[in-house]
Structure 1
Amino acid sequence: MNGEWLHFAKKIKKMYGKDFVPLHEPTFDNSEIRYVTDCIETGWVSSVGKYVDQFERDLAEYTGVKRAVAVVNGTAALQIALKIAGVQTNDEVFMPALTFIATANAATYLGAIPHFVDVSTETLGLDPIKLDKHIQTIGVMKDNQLVNKSTGRIIRAVVPMHTFGHPVDLDPLLDVCQRYNIILVEDAAESLGSYYKGKHTGGFGRTAALSFNGNKIITTGGGGAILTNDDALADYAKHITTTAKVPHSWEFNHDEIGYNYRMPNINAALGCAQLQKLNGFLASKRTLTQKYENLLMNNKAAKLFVENHNSKSNYWLQTLLLESGTNRDTVLQILNNNGVMARPIWTPLNELEIYKNCPRSTLTTMNELKNSVINVPSNPM
């Protein structure tokens, strides 16, 4: 078995033509240099400049939403997406237990409480059917609001996270939201370029968040964006992410506590160049998926996780599901020791000391997946 994984590592290095293959690294060329140089030469490098406006327009057009508001990172984007959607202090927010910690942190920053629910083997994301059953057990409707019978708190929102670019099954989730008056806020940090039934992720909820961290499918170095189809919410997002400063030629008047979260122009310039290449990156990643399917054809210990029948994934991170009896840490050690960067899925949030006391559903599928999911190099080729 160990020899099979050593052979797998060698094939990946041969595929990429490198002695060390990182998990995911950015791809740049002269267009990024040209745009960033323009920022430097004109002096417009901070949070005011033409590239911020252009990046927001281009993002909105690409994702099919009315508005995009660029900010400093994906966590900030999700925090503001939750805030403008109506999440308040002491509200509970449904989210998958198997997600990056930013999903929970964004809610916590607002004084809300994460409420962890199980995931689906079909999408690796939040399972709407299990969520519905969980609500029937723990919830009660009072004054048209869903209340947790155990804590007495309002359950205000649900945050599906499109894991590694694979969209959550959104139609049944939207049905749950409608029946229980729950706000849908999408954590689309990993799913730029992914579609559910022909519609881009991030356009289904009241708001959504994207991430452009250095390891994402496109990068602005560090950055994120809030998506919404509500102009008033977009205007509010832009206002509070620029310290809630009231527009004036010289006065400094701030009408509420705001955040210094606006994306700098120099980062947006990088994003404009990257977004122009996104379709090429997506095509390359689908080619890479086929290459991994070929590499794993005779591997009895793992299979490649592929998009659901109703979705089109951006395949941001290539994902392997290890078969029962395969030791995850042994596989990770062999790959990393032999020049192929690989990582496990995140530690379940309910198992972290800081979130262990949060409410949760039964997490059967999560417990099955947590030690069997790994990511392997996913750089566009």
Structure 2
Amino acid sequence: MTIPSVIEFIRDTYQTDDVIPLHAPTFAGNEKKYVLDTLTSTYVSSIGQYVDAFEDKIARFTGAARAVATVNGTAALSTALYLAGVKPHDLVITQALTFVATCNALHHLGAEPVFIDISATSLGLCPRALDNWLTENAERVDEHCVHRKTRQVIRAAVPMHTFGHPVEIDELLAVCQKWRISLIEDAAESLGSFYKGVHTGTFGKYGALSFNGNKIITTGGGGMLLCQSATDGVRAKHITTTAKIPHPWAFSHDEPGFNHRMPNLNAALGYAQMEALTTFLQQKRTLALRYAAFFAGTTFQFIKEPVYARSNYWLNAVLCENKAAQEAFVAEMNHANVRVRPAWKLMHRLPMFSHALRDDLTHSIAIEERLVNLPSSASPLLS
């Protein structure tokens, strides 16, 4: 298979000679109507009907006990880590193949990342690699998991559902329970993805969604904290809204809080986008099936959803034969105005995280050298 044939296939799929983005938002429903509603009402900031309505709609779709809207996905994840008790000098386990926001969230709480390898199947944190590393490097002390050498508390583990593909979350949960580690899901990319029939982001104590402009639905910028219990949800709502004690006019706060509130204006956009989510998921599955059939039997390996899961196929991906093939593919596709990208640079290669503890990251390195994300926008042409 030649690169020009891939370009032709993607242009035929989207039926355009213009630039084809990696993932563009689609606005074809009530977005303008609901946003204009907020402008007319003047409630464009953190108070308004759409914030509550959007939270409720996400909670009902995912099955979470409570959903709390935040200003972005990083804020949702940072809040989750804070509520899980992450403190300065704690260790938080995650994967090296992730977007930098995962590590930024824990870093700004003063914690340090530990990078464990991914599964070659899910592209997310591998439960077997996690258990092996903990067995070799950690011990349980009272109700905590402690790193043997540094004596730092290993407070939490944060797997990411990479490109929308669910990790082996029940096995990860079992490992975390065994070692007394809180499990928090980075579900930024996996709205609409299910593991054995249960929505991602609802297995751990908390889950974090993102509604950035390139996600399956967008609020322009925004996130959502999914809580496993209603009690945790009440606490999350309080702490993300400056910990203000409710009162019709007086201002009083009972603890240091965060100003992580999502504006009503953004929530209105998200509420309209949720009305189209089922359609987006159907279109993206059609696109994934087209890619899978096109790349079958070629030198490119299309990344399919794990057998135990139903992925939202947020970003489709292929594996090239090697690093040189990856670089040539990315360069030629972008030169032809078909936007593709390699995977993120592994987190331990970034200067601020280069000294972090890690295992051998065998699969992470192999994926980094070969993976390319393909154009994955939902489109009526895929209906």
TM-score by length of 1: 0.97
> Structure 1 vs Structure 2: percent identity of aligned residues?
48
Report Cα offsets for 1:175-224 as digits up to 9, x if no partner: 10111111000000000000001100011000110000000000000000
What amino acid is aligned across from residue 64 of structure 1 in structure 2? G
Alignment correspondent of 1:55 = 54
Aligned-partner residue type, residue 197 of structure 1: K
1:287 has 2:286 as partner: yes
Tell me the residue number matched to 2:100.
101
State the shift of 1:39 in Å: 0.5
Q: Aligned AA for 1:360? A: R
Residue 359 of structure 2 is matched in structure 1 by 361
Deviations 1:247-286 (A, max 9, x none): 2222222222211110000100000010111111000011
| AA matched with 1:71 | T
Task: Tell me the SS of whatever aligns to 1:18.
Answer: coil
- The 8 Å contact of residues 115 and 358 in structure 1, kept in 2 or not, is answered as yes
Show the counterpart of 2:337.
339
Instruction: State the distance in 2 between where 1:160 and 1:93 align.
Output: 10
Question: Which residue of the partner structure matches residue 320 of structure 2?
Answer: 322
- Is 1:371 matched with 2:340? no
Contact 2:92 2:158 in 1 (8 A): yes
The size of the alignment, in residue pairs, is 378
1:1-381 equivalences in 2 (<5 Å) = 4-19=2-17, 20-300=19-299, 302-324=300-322, 327-381=325-379
CA contact (8 A) 1:9 1:339 kept: no
Contact map agreement 2:322 2:369 (CA 8 A) in 1: no
Q: Residue type of the partner of 1:344?
A: P
Amino acid at match of 1:149: R
**Unpaired stretches in structure 2, ≥5 consecutive residues:** none
Distance 1:260 1:336 in 2: 39
For 1:170 and 1:185, how far apart are their aligned partners in 2?
Answer: 10
> Could you list the runs of 4 or more consecutive aligned residues of structure 1 that deviate by over 6 angstroms after TM superposition?
none
Q: Which moved more, 1:317-326 or 1:252-261?
A: 317-326
Counterpart AA for 2:193: S
Whether the 8 Å CA contact 1:13–1:339 is kept in 2: the answer is no
**Cα drift, residue 30 of structure 1:** 4.2
Identify the range of structure 1 (193-202 vs 326-335) with the bigger mean alpha-carbon deviation.
326-335
CA contact (8 A) 2:29 2:273 kept: no
Q: Deviations over 1:269-313 (max 9, x none)?
A: 00001011111100001100111123223532x121001110000
* Structure 1 counterpart of 2:36, one-letter code: T
Structure 1 residue 326: Cα displacement = 5.0
Q: Secondary structure at the match of 2:357?
A: coil
Structure 2 counterpart SS, 1:370: helix
TM-fit CA distance, 1:163: 0.1
Give the secondary structure class of the aligned counterpart of 2:155. strand
Coordinate RMSD, CA, aligned: 1.2
Following TM superposition, by how much is the alpha carbon of 1:233 offset from its aligned partner in structure 2, in angstroms? 1.6
Structure 1 unaligned regions, length at least 5: none
Find the aligned partners of 1:315 and 1:56 in 2 and give their Cα distance.
23
Take 1:325 and 1:102, find their aligned partners in 2: how far apart are those partners? Answer: 25
Q: What TM-score do the two structures reach when normalised by structure 2? A: 0.96
Q: 1:42, CA displacement in angstroms?
A: 1.1
Distance (Å, rounded) in 2 between the aligned partners of 1:147 and 1:11: 52
What amino acid is the match of 2:356? C
